[in-house]
Amino acid sequence: MKAIKKKRLSEIGADEIKKYIEDEGLKYGDRLPSVAELVDLLQIGRSSLREALQLLESQGVIEILNGKGTFIRESKPFQIQMAFEVEDKKNFLLETLEVREALEKKAVELAVKAANDEDVEEMTYHLQQYVQFLQTGQRQLANQADARFHQAIYAASKNKMLESIIDSVWDTFHEFWNEPFGIDDIFDQSYPYHEKLLQGIRERNSKSALEAFDEIIQSVKQSIYNIN
């Protein structure tokens, strides 16, 4: 008998919003109901709804425009759907890490050459947000900031096909990478290498950036190996 993973209220809310989008046949550019309407519809608190919407935004499902509302984002041309049971979660994480390493390393290589000042500023902002949220005990928001840091690198690669493929993989496996085994700080040790990676991209130093990326992967891999 397998243990059932306990979902956060915000994750359940995000799933229900996805179901609502599908049931209502909402398309790119369509607007979601207001916050007040969604709170009523889902019967959850405003803070949980806000986290659910932020989670969906980080996954690329919606776009939140201040003062205008929340809108459905354009569907990605690539969407990988998981159609298998995960029996050995530890091995599954290691296998998906190999996929991420292959794709994201190429994104880093391209970003070093193609990133502009705005791209670097966005990466810097999300990394600073990650630290700030950790310091204030907002773990889920910290995880989302980390995700956005990596997504900013994909965007900075200026290769739309690569970005779309990576995002599709990221979305599919999100629940397995978000606090696996109930350990919320499992990947925190890789943070210093994120700073080094950002610095490498900022200085357009391919060697330094790729070394930092390899160190992130090795740190994450070791954290998975250390799980009993």
CATH number for the domain spanning 144: value is 1.20.120.530
- 156 and 213 in a single domain? The answer is yes
- 100 and 51 in a single domain? The answer is no
- Give 81's pLDDT tier (boundaries 50, 70, 90): very low
* pLDDT tens, residue by residue, 9-45: 888 888 899 999 988 888 888 999 999 999 998 998 8
45 found inside a domain: yes
40 found inside a domain: yes
Domains of the chain: total: 2
- 46 and 134 in a single domain? The answer is no
Q: What is the CA radius of gyration of the chain?
A: 18
- 57 and 111 in a single domain? The answer is no
* pLDDT tens, residue by residue, 96-135: 889 889 999 999 999 999 999 999 999 999 999 999 998 9
- 93 and 22 in a single domain? The answer is no
DSSP string, the chain: -PPPPPPPHHHHHHHHHHHHHHHTT--TTPBPPPHHHHHHHHT--HHHHHHHHHHHHHTTSEEEETTTEEEEPPPPS--PPP-S--S-HHHHHHHHHHHHHHHHHHHHHHHHHH--HHHHHHHHHHHHHHHHHHHTT-HHHHHHHHHHHHHHHHHHTT-HHHHHHHHHHHHHHHHHHSSGGG-TTTTGGGHHHHHHHHHHHHTT-HHHHHHHHHHHHHHHHHHHHT--
State the chain's mean pLDDT as an integer. Answer: 84
Per-residue pLDDT at 219: 93
CATH number at residue 66: 1.10.10.10
Whether the pLDDT of residue 57 is over 70: the answer is yes
* Domain residue limits at 220: 89-225
- 199 and 134 in a single domain? The answer is yes
Per-residue pLDDT at 180: 66
160 found inside a domain: yes
- Give 224's pLDDT tier (boundaries 50, 70, 90): confident
**Boundary (domain end) residue, out of 72, 97, 124:** 72
